[in-house]
Amino acid sequence: MGVGEKASITATGITTTGQSVDVTGSGTWGTLDTNIVTVSGGMITGVSVGATSVVFEAMGVKAQAAVSVTSDVVSIDIEDNQPMIASGQRVNLVAKAILKNGEVIDSSSSGTWEVSNDNARVTTSGQLTALKDGKFTLTHSYYGVKATKELEVVTIKQLVPNRSALRLFVGDSEQLTVRAEFVNRTSEEVGQAGEWVAMNETRATVDNGLVTAVGAGQTAARFKFLNQQLDIKVDVLAKGMLKKEGALPEYSADLVNIGSAGHIIEARNYRATGQRPKLLVNGSEVTQLDGPSSITSFETISVNSTGSIVAYQLRDDKANMLFKSIFVHNTSGGKQLLRLGDFFEGVCCKIYTQFVGSDLYVFKNGQMGRLGADGIFTVLFDGYKAGQEIFQSYSNFTFLKDKIIATKTSRGEGAKVIEIDYQGKIIRSLENGLPSHGDNGPRDIVELSEGRYIARMNGSTWEFSGNWFERPDLGYVSRFGEKVYSIKRENNFCAIREVDSAVGNAGDIIHNYSTLNSCNERVSHTTGETHVLSAHDVFGVVKQVTFFSNETRRADAKE
C-alpha cells in the first residue's frame, strides 16, 4: 500500500467444529509500529515508508499479518539557491515533493526538518533561524525521501557597489556590481546573487545590475542581499547635449569645473563615439590636448581662482591605464605652460591637483609638489625619500593657504585626521571628539576661521574647534571666495543660507529651491541672479553642476 492510502482487513475465526466465523469487529486491532501504519476496526492507513505487522486478538487468540508501505515520492527539492543566510535572519523554508505521476506538492509543513549543528535552528513548520557564523547541513524528509542542502551563516559588514551613483543619457546602459564584505570570511562578489529592483521604471530599468536609462529624471537601483540592501542613485539626462540659456554653452561633459570669475571650464569626454576628449572655456575649445594619441578621457581636472589655468590628468579607458603626467594649460591664451611629466617616483596612481590662490598643488601617493604662478615646479616633500610613508595611507585632502587637512580610515582603527604643513610636517591631530563609528572621517572640509573647520561626516555636518561636535542646523557647507554657504533641506525646500565665519551660525535664507531633488549639492558660485550648485570631491573635481535662476533648473552636467 502507499503512504496515505487506506485498506480494509478482516479477521476470520475457526470454531472447534471447523466452522469459519467473521470476527473482525469482535476483537482488538493493533500494529507493531504505528509510525508505519495505523489500524482501527479493520481499516489500515499507511503512515510512512516501511514494513511492519498488524496484530489482531480475540478470545485469547492472536494473529499477525505483514504490511509494507511504499511511497509515490520520487524526489524533494528545497527551494532558494542562495547558499548563505545572514546571522540573525529568519527564513521560511519551502520544499516541494515530486511524485511518480509528475505531480508536485508542497511538503514544507508536512515533512520534517533538521539542522546538523547549533549554527542554526529550524521549527517543525520550516522556519529557519541563523544563530552564529559557520556552515551547517539542512535536511528535509518526506515519506522516507530526504533532501539536503549545505548552508553558511554569515555576518555582513557592508555592501560595496562599484558605483555609488550613475548619470546616464537616455538609451545608455551601465553594469553595476556589488561586493559583500563579511566579518569572518573573505569578501565576495554578490551582484548576481541578490535581487535588483528599479525604483521607477519610467526613468531606468535594471536587469541583474545592468541599468538602462529610459526617461529623463532621477530614480534609484535598489540591491537586496540577505538582510542588507542599498540604493544606488541614477540620474537620467535627455539624449544629446544639454542646453543652457543666455551665454552659457551647450555641453555634455563628464567633468566640469567652475572658476571663481564665473568661467565654465569643460572637460568633455566622448566615450560613446571614441573621439579624443576636449578642453573648453565657455564653450570654445582653447587648446589641442597634450598626451598620447590613445587618450580617451579626463581623470582629474582643477582650475585656478580666475579660471585662466587648468591642470588635468588623462586616461586610456581601453587599456584601463592612467598617465602619470599632469598637463597645465593657460586657457585665456591657449598656450601650454608646463607638462609635469613623471616627476614623482613609484608606479601608479591617480594624481590629485588643487589650486590654492595662484599656486597649483599636486599630490600623488604620499608625495607633494607645487607649481607657482612663475611656472617653476617645486617638490615640497617626498614620502619615498624622506621616510614619510605615513602620507601614503591618507587619501582625502583639503588644501588650504598654509596647511593641508589629511584624512584616512584604517579598518579596525577608525578615522585619522591631521594638519600638515607644506613641508610634510604634522602640525597637530584633529581627532578629539571624532566619532568612533566614522565611515571615512571628515570630508568636504571648509575652514571657517583659523583652526575652525566645518566638514561632512556620517551623513551629517560637524564642526571642529578643539573638538568635533555635530551641527544639525547646517547642511552641505562650502566656501566661495570670502563667503561660506550652507544648503540644507528645510520642509520641502533646499534652503541656502550664508554662514558667519566668525561664529559659525547660519544666517537668513538667501534662496529656497523647491525644484531640487536632493540637497546634497554645495554652493560653488552665486551672484544676484545666477546660483551654481555642485557636488564635487575635496580635490576640486566637480561631479555634478546645476545652474539656477529663480526657481528654474537650467543645466545639469553628466558625471
What is the reported pLDDT for 446?
87
Given a cut of 90, whether residue 317 has pLDDT beyond it is no
What is the reported pLDDT for 204?
93
Given a cut of 60, whether residue 211 has pLDDT beyond it is yes
Those residues with Cβ within 8 angstroms of residue 233's Cβ, 6 or more apart along the chain or in another chain:
164, 165, 166, 218, 220
Rounded to whole angstroms, how far apart are CA atoms 155 and 84? 10
Confidence of residue 524 (pLDDT cuts 50, 70, 90): low
pLDDT in tens, 428-456: 888 888 876 555 678 778 888 888 898 88
Amino acid in the structure at residue 352: Y
What mean pLDDT do residues 59-76 have?
86
CA dihedral 457, 442, 347, 542 (to 10 degrees): 70
What mean pLDDT do residues 525-546 have?
46
What is the reported pLDDT for 346?
44
E strand spans, 177-295: 178-182, 188-189, 195-198, 204-207, 210-213, 217-225, 228-237, 255-258, 264-270, 275-281, 284-287
pLDDT in tens, 74-123: 899 998 768 899 988 888 999 999 988 788 888 898 889 999 999 999 99
For residue 461, what are the β-bridge partners? 456
pLDDT in tens, 351-370: 777 777 778 887 766 677 88
The pTM score is: 0.46
Confidence of residue 544 (pLDDT cuts 50, 70, 90): very low
Closest CA to 312 of 336, 346, 344, 347: 336
E strand spans, 104-164: 104-106, 112-115, 120-122, 127-130, 134-142, 145-154, 156-161
Confidence of residue 53 (pLDDT cuts 50, 70, 90): very high
What is the reported pLDDT for 430?
87
Given a cut of 50, whether residue 222 has pLDDT beyond it is yes
Percentage of the chain with pLDDT > 90? 16
Contact (CB, 8 A) for 228 and 159? yes
What is the reported pLDDT for 15?
84
Contact (CB, 8 A) for 383 and 389? yes
Rounded to whole angstroms, how far apart are CA atoms 538 and 540? 5
What mean pLDDT do residues 376-389 have?
64
Given a cut of 70, whether residue 261 has pLDDT beyond it is no
- Lowest-pLDDT range of 38-42, 108-112, 384-388: 384-388
What is the reported pLDDT for 234?
87
Mean pLDDT across the chain: 76
Amino acid in the structure at residue 356: V
Those residues with Cβ within 8 angstroms of residue 260's Cβ, 6 or more apart along the chain or in another chain:
305, 306, 307, 480, 481, 525
Return the residue matching grid coordinates 597637530.
Answer: 428
What is the reported pLDDT for 287?
62
